[in-house]
Structure 1
């Protein structure tokens, strides 16, 4: 379908698709931005309502702790929430979950609603509900009771969002007649059957959306005009250049058809692709024009040679001109070859040459001639003899090289196997020596550490004896300190209670400050949490001090027993120190001997690895030589020459003798092998040698 379109239609198609893509992408971006603005408002509502939640839970906790009655807790919570404001005029209300219609518990701006059943017609305005924070948004018929919708979403998951249409307050009092979209977030406090929440108007989101949509429309219109202008200019330029191309090619075809004496260049001097193509085409037209002239010269000479051949002249009558056309040059060569094939002698010579080309060097020319043809026949006969002798020598050398390469390959494989086995044994020996060296070094180090620690232990026992004596008097001081700690704990409990009250007041002030106080509200909550933990820690400290007092009395008795034990320990440590010193000296002597052995093994291992590497390199070379020898023999076997069968018979006899010698060599090697402590079978293949050595 696309290939049938004109260039203009293709350009318009690209422009249309580009413009459509810009419009769709921009519209989707606007829709995404609108959704982000709605989500920001939802998150802000959620944070505000959570402030009210913290106030309700705090007063409920005071009630549960028995500090205030339940009615007092409810009134305190209502009073605190009623005074909260954000964005200067937004608030939090509270209603219950009564059926069939909810009842208003507290409305900060319309106190006349407090205690009334919310079944008025104006409340039938809910347009959409969302159960939970991530629940599905469900449309309503627009006549659902607003507060029943609040109760419905909180009964299912405790929280949710409700959208509805509501008038806006007017500065100075009253509300607008028009309804505006509004969004509320509500939560439920099950212990008191309260549903509390807050709402914000979201009509500003639609205003911003339509403003950006208008801007997008203007931008798209401008882009459309710009793209159409550019498309027109590009299309005009392309049409002019294509017309020049067409005229130039038509002139060139007229020259090829011999309708004109000379071709005309395509006159496009731009730097774009058309200009580059025009230059390339002009260059090729010039080359083709020169080629046609050369082709005509060859054809004229060919006519002259044919005329001379008709008169009986053959020798030195050849076509010498060279055409630009490869096919004409081939025709010239074939015509010259035809002249060479006129004579019977030349046919015989070609027959002999064909035999040699097919690798049959035993073919003989069975006739002779005088003159130049006789000379040529003698040379061809000599050529056949030389090729036969050369091929025979080639096969002899190939067979000899093949035999030698096989012997070298077998020897290198045996040497490589032995090197790998020796390297493996040295590795085990080296590893054992390294482990032994490490163990002795570790023993020596530990013995030195033991001697040091024994000395330190002896000194420590002396200090312990002294400290034990001081501990008795410290126990008495500890008992006096615990009494003082108990008095300080009582003071901490009083401070924690006062801090809790202050953090609560700070949370209320932070909520009143709106967004600016959001961070301070978090700090106030953390302060309240710290105050509670301080009170609990104070109780724990008091319990621990009582236990410490009892433990101090027990410690008094234990210290007296410790003083007697320290004296016995000091004597035992002194004996142990002497034994550790003797062990340390013995380990040092062993360490010196093992290090000398380890150095010798390392040197031997290095030389073994170098030998194995040399063996591997030699084995690789022998494989390559054997491969080349096989190729030499294979190529020589494909040819026929004098003495071929004798060489094949001699080669078969040498292979049998070589196999006998190799078997005897391997049998002797097997007998000479001596068993080691652990026998390891090593399977070796020439092609895997490098891999095995790298693994080792």
Structure 2
């Protein structure tokens, strides 16, 4: 555990050292990007804008002296735009990132930076004072011409200060990069040392694991392989105080317990096999005598079964005949009922055909009235002359449809008359068929009663024969049960003998070392097995006697 703790401490030290180097590099990059580059660019752009302002003011003075008003006004407009642009850079320089300055390597460098910025801003404010800005807004040519010398002097002063500030920023950046590079090199050296120490600690850890854990575990695996191959004679290595030592102690106890159990099992299986062989021999003798007695009863039962089968077949035939007659009677009655329902349906159809005559009469009347209306419409169309010609055609078509309707209605009436006659004939024939079906049903009922008497007589004979067969069957069942019990006993004894021999074969696969504890346990088990074996003999003789009594 101490070695692992040391390894973890070295890894944490490497991480902390790397984090410190990265932080130093980030501070340097932040100082360069957030302060040096930003403020240096703003200062240079402010310097460039003031030079442009100086140029535009010089152009304005030249154009104004030559009375070139338009060119002078254009130069003033450019000067105003340049002044707006310069004010933006002024605001950038006037913004002080105190947090960024606080993160610099030394507070003195931040103070020097503030002094440069204050000088740059003061020179710009002095050059572009309120009087100059008001004159530029009002286009006061006299004031602007007077301010040109002040602007030229201010531009030179501002340019000198910006040049000094750029030199300071460059030197500051170079210093920060040197410090960051030195910190990175130191961190790399420390990391290499820590990594080498970590590798040494890891090698020591691997050696300790191999010697104190892997080697004992390999020995334990070899012991387990020997146990898997039924070898209980292997010596366990001496136990130590660690977890692996406790594992070997537990394996040693397990091996001793298994040796004791296997020794007892080997002795017990030998005695159980001898007793099972004696039981199997006696059971086979008893089974042979019981089978002879069961065979004689089976022959008697077979004879009674043949007689019972004959009587049963007669009764069964009578019952089937009775069922067939009953079924025929039911079918005949059903046929009569179906004929009655057929007659009812035919009467309903006949009544429906009569109602259809009424409907056809209504249709004929409607067709006749429609024909009259069509004739009247034709007359009215003829009176209307040319305007009623189309209406006359429609009236003629309606009259034709009315005539066709009347003709179809008469044809349907003739068909209905024919159908009513056929329905009456079918109803009469169904009535005759119903009477005949009822006569057949009455004859079948009489036949059913005769067959019922025959079936009752056959059932009484079957009952008598079955009572005799039942008595014989009960005797045979008792004998068969005895035979089955004897067979089960014999099978169980044979199976017990086979299992005991198989168990002897299994236990013989184990190679055990005889110890005093195992011998004492085996002696106790041997005395218990002898007592049980003697009890088996005392129990076996009464069982054989009872089988002979049967």
> What TM bracket, shorter-length normalisation?
under 0.3
Q: Which has the higher contact order (CA 8 A, sep 6+)?
A: 2
Higher helix share: 2
Q: TM-score, normalised by structure 1?
A: 0.22
Structure index of larger Rg: 2
